[in-house]
Amino acid sequence: MEISHQKHSISNILKKLRESGRSKTINGVRIKILPALKKGEVRVKDLGKLQAATGYEYTLLRGMGKYGERVLICGTPNQVGIPAEYLERKYVWSGHSHPDDTSPSQADRDALSAFDQECSVIVSACQKSDNPKHKTRTFEQFEDWSDWLPS
C-alpha cells in the first residue's frame, strides 16, 4: 500500500512539473520550478526517488511558516540553481538530491550560508543501496574536521 501510494505521488509530481513547471536559467543552469505545493505533497525523502526516476537533481524549498508553500526545483543531472528571490524572501532550503554520493560540495555549503541556515539534507538517487555514502545526510555550512584529526 505504502509503496504504491509513493509511486503514485512521485508520478503525480512529475506530471505537475511537466504541466505547470516554469523554466528559468540561473548562471547557465537550466531549471524548472514548481511552486505552490502543499505541505506533504513532496517530501525531502522523495527527492532521491525523483532523481532516480528522471536523472535530474531536485531541490525542495519551504516558504515561511509551518504551512508555507513548498517549491520544487528540477535542475541538470548534477546541478540545480536556486533563484535569488527565494533567498530574499527567507525561504528554507529543506534538501536536495545527488545522483550518487551524499557528500556536500563546497557549492552546497556556500548555498547554505547564503540561506543563512544551519543545516540541510542531501538524499541520494541510489535508494536501495546499502553503501554508507548513499545514506541520507544532513550537512552544515562548515566542514566537520573532527573525524580527520588524529587523536
CB of 36 to Zn ion, least distance (A): 24
By the criterion CB under 5 A, which residues form the site for Zn ion? 108
Bridge partner list, 119: 140
H or E element: which one contains 110?
A: helix 106-114
Closer Cβ to Zn ion, 12 or 113, answer by number: 113
Closer Cβ to Zn ion, 100 or 108, answer by number: 108
Label residues 39-77 b or e (16+ Cβ within 10 Å = b). eebbbbebbbbbbbeeebbbbbbbbeeeeebbbbbbbee
CB of 97 to Zn ion, least distance (A): 8
CB of 96 to Zn ion, least distance (A): 5
Residue nearest to Zn ion (CB): 108
In whole angstroms, give the CA distance from residue 12 to residue 46.
Answer: 12
Closer Cβ to Zn ion, 59 or 91, answer by number: 59
